[in-house]
Structure 1
């Protein structure tokens, strides 16, 4: 950034520094931003502005740059995403004019988004879907038929923000493409803004990948611990996986057994709860095991509120 000394040298007869400084002082004091600041702080005398002319100059220059912002990646200010602010402080020996660097709204928005991305993790779910921009109006108006489900999701988010983690999660059930995953991603995104961590797991691919984790016990242990400990856990498209007894009893069972009465778990599915129990009760290896399906459902059914998601198939729109 151009220094005040360089600016002064560009004035006609710029080697006469005092005269140039006087002219620059007059110009800066006439700037609307400076006039507004002076009107808020009439207690500051002229001398304080003169000896801090460099601060005043950078204040005006960087505020102008922000008014015509070329984007965060092309920020012309000294420190990317920051601008100079002036303040009047009592130093004990009198009033002083000081400056400080303040983050701009674009930098704050980027930092918030990065925080959200760190808070929310996905396993086999499209990152673009998880971290895309969300609009409450867009969600509300996308399909009148799913308004009840949208309202229930919004209500859940509001309750969690006001009261903390809820004892129950949500079980979103509906036909293909009605936006169940989308609503859960929106929920994770919104609650990440207030500090809650979240994980969303696409069940068909997760169960398939579990087989390879048998040879990587450390990775399996880490994955299970993440799902146990995260504030909000979403099992996406549950019931569509090709389940085996080990995945059902030792992975899913362990995760859900740990989370019940601790942290809420959420589900999206094309199956209602009774159909899901039948799904859990049968595996290709051991056939029909109704008691084991019921055991897993005892860790799901009491800990969710079922929400029907109606509407048209919107696959490809999100």
Structure 2
């Protein structure tokens, strides 16, 4: 490291002082600085010279943004932001102020992060939620899905225009027709509109409840999350191996709380009558028709039933 004496001696070097003056003049003659002066003629050159470091930062970061290497490789001091100069008059004198401003890429990333924070998933592949959605592809992949897809679109539009109701959707169809994908699309679109949502893959959720039940606090937090989110999706309901406790004290409690408050959505390979038969049977107690009907009373009146037809799209982009 140079000593203070060496720094002072270098300042006495005529060639170095001349180079410093040349750099300063080049900066003052830069088109961006000239444009700033044209917009604010009250900024005379002596005042600009008081803020050479700000002008340098402004020009350098503008150059970086013009040759943007992407957000992850942003060379600016504050990643995803650039220096923006403003002129304000204080005590009758104009002065130059700098503030860091988020670029378009940063704003877009923050918006996506905000959307992701509104969505939680339990046992659902995050790639399905974050893979991106193309409405033309959703509609055009299989024409037989058109009726169901249009109803999903209509539901999303209705919520955006009129707000949430307690009415959800029961989307049923054969394997691989895109039920989960369409529900994730609905969840994403309404998260963009500001609603929170949770999607739960039922077979893994019910299986995991066996361990969660031993942790009372975690169980309460999980159930409260599913009760209180704006949008709740039970994905692949009917494929789980039910036990009486999970059916009656967890699933039943969640649905009982939500049924007149917030919408619940379902994907299933079963139509509603098939789901009722499934919910009436548990691995421990066998068939209990009354309990299955009791749960269906908290499902059927609060959903629009949408059959989804089409080919098995597993392994292809849906």
What TM-score do the two structures reach when normalised by structure 2? Answer: 0.87
Q: Which region of structure 1 is more displaced relative to structure 2, 278-287 or 116-125? A: 278-287
Work out the CA distance in 2 between the residues paired with 1:13 and 1:162.
69
SS at match of 2:16: coil
Aligned partner of 2:3 in structure 1 is: none
TM-aligned CA deviation for residue 309 of structure 1: 1.7
Whether 1:96 aligns to 2:95 is yes
Work out the CA distance in 1 between the residues paired with 2:89 and 2:126.
50
Work out the CA distance in 2 between the residues paired with 1:268 and 1:137.
22
Work out the CA distance in 1 between the residues paired with 2:74 and 2:81.
9
The answer (yes or no) to whether the contact 1:146–1:309 under 8 Å persists in 2 is: yes
TM-aligned CA deviation for residue 139 of structure 1: 2.1
Where do 1:198-237 residues align within 5 Å? 198-237=197-236
Q: Which runs of 5+ in 1 are unaligned?
A: 1-8
TM-aligned CA deviation for residue 77 of structure 1: 0.8
Q: Using a 3 Å threshold, how does the CA distance of structure 1 residues 42 and 169 change in structure 2: closer, same or farther?
A: farther
Aligned partner of 1:307 in structure 2 is: 306
RMSD value, Cα: 2.2
TM-aligned CA deviation for residue 154 of structure 1: 2.2
Where do 1:157-176 residues align within 5 Å? 157-176=156-175
SS at match of 1:16: helix
Aligned partner of 1:24 in structure 2 is: 26
Aligned partner of 2:119 in structure 1 is: 120
Work out the CA distance in 2 between the residues paired with 1:305 and 1:116.
26
Where do 1:54-93 residues align within 5 Å? 54-93=53-92
TM-aligned CA deviation for residue 91 of structure 1: 2.7
What TM-score do the two structures reach when normalised by structure 1? Answer: 0.87
Work out the CA distance in 1 between the residues paired with 2:261 and 2:203.
26
TM-aligned CA deviation for residue 50 of structure 1: 3.5
Aligned partner of 2:238 in structure 1 is: 239
Aligned partner of 2:144 in structure 1 is: 145
Q: Using a 3 Å threshold, how does the CA distance of structure 1 residues 49 and 153 change in structure 2: closer, same or farther?
A: farther
Q: Which runs of 5+ in 2 are unaligned?
A: 1-10
Work out the CA distance in 2 between the residues paired with 1:276 and 1:22.
77
Aligned partner of 1:14 in structure 2 is: 16
What stretches of structure 1 move > 6 A for 4+ residues in a row? Answer: none
Q: Using a 3 Å threshold, how does the CA distance of structure 1 residues 23 and 265 change in structure 2: closer, same or farther?
A: same
- Cα deviations by residue, 1:249-305 (Å, 9 ceiling, x for unpaired): 111110000011111110001111111112112223323322211111111111111
TM-aligned CA deviation for residue 22 of structure 1: 5.2
TM-aligned CA deviation for residue 44 of structure 1: 4.0
Work out the CA distance in 2 between the residues paired with 1:220 and 1:50.
64
TM-aligned CA deviation for residue 46 of structure 1: 4.0
Q: Using a 3 Å threshold, how does the CA distance of structure 1 residues 25 and 242 change in structure 2: closer, same or farther?
A: closer
Work out the CA distance in 1 between the residues paired with 2:68 and 2:92.
38
